[in-house]
Chain A
C-alpha cells in the first residue's frame, strides 16, 4: 500500500534551517509529484510548493521563494523540504502529499506530518 513516512519532530532556533524528509513506498516514486503543505497551530492548510519526482523541477509559493528548497532522491524514493532563515511564524506541522492518481490537481496520499517548532 502507498505510504509516505516523514522524519521526526524538530526544534530550531530563529535563523536556523530545517530539512524534513518524506520516504515513499508502495508505488513508483518517479510517477507522481510531491507537494509540501504546512499548518500552523490552530490554522488552516497552506500549500508551500511542488516538485516533480521524475525530473526535479519545482514550483514554490511566492511567499516562500528564496527560503525553501525541495529536492528528491530517486534512489531511495525520498523527498526533502528545506526551509531556511526560520522565524517563529514558521512553527507548524509540515506534510508531504502525493499528486492524485486520477490527476495531478489533488493530493491522494499524505505523510503523517512533522512538527517543526521555532523558538529561542
Chain B
C-alpha cells in the first residue's frame, strides 16, 4: 500500500516560515491535499490539489509537489497556526485514500 511520511514535529518562531514535508514514491504524479487539525477539533482542509486554497484560508498557506516530496509552507507564522498537519492523497492504483503520518507544528 502507498505510504506517506511526514516529520513528527516542526518548530518555528512567530513571523518565520514553516515548511512541512510529505514524502511518497513519485508523489509528484499524484494530487496532494493538506489538513490542519487543532486539539479537540475536526480536520480543516487548507490546501487541495497541491497548491489551491479553499476560501477563507489565508494566503500565508501554500503548497507545492514534485518528485518524491510535497511541501506545505506556512509564511509569517502566527500562534494560531499551532496544530497538527496531515497530507493526503488518493492512490489510483488501489482506489484508496491515504493520510500522512502527521506533523505537529509548534510556534515557539
**A residues neighboring B (CB under 8 Å):** 35, 37, 44-47, 50, 59, 61-62, 95, 97, 100, 102-108, 110-113
Interface of B is mostly: strand
Interface of A is mostly: strand
A47 / chain B contacts, CB cutoff of 8 Å: 96-99
Minimal beta-carbon separation of B79 from chain A (angstroms): 23
Q: Given A45-B86, A100-B48, does the pair A110, B97 have CB atoms closer than 8 Å?
A: no
Q: Which 4 residue pairs spanning A and B have beta carbons closest together?
A: A106-B33, A110-B42, A47-B97, A105-B90
Among A105, A106, A113, residue most surrounded by chain B Cβ atoms (within 10 Å): A106
A66 to B48, CA, bound (A): 32
Interface hits, B23-60 → A, CB 8 Å: 31, 33, 35, 37, 42-45, 48-49, 52, 54
Q: Would A59 and B43 count as touching, CB distance under 8 A? A: no
A101 to chain B: closest residue by CB: B54
A110 to B99, CA, bound (A): 15
A95 / chain B contacts, CB cutoff of 8 Å: 42-43
Q: Given A44-B101, A46-B99, A47-B97, does the pair A105, B45 have CB atoms closer than 8 Å?
A: no
B34 to chain A: closest residue by CB: A106
Question: Can you report 15 A-B residue pairs in the complex whose CB atoms are below 8 A from each other?
Answer: A44-B86, A44-B101, A45-B86, A45-B88, A46-B99, A47-B97, A62-B1, A62-B96, A100-B33, A103-B31, A103-B48, A105-B48, A108-B54, A111-B42, A112-B42
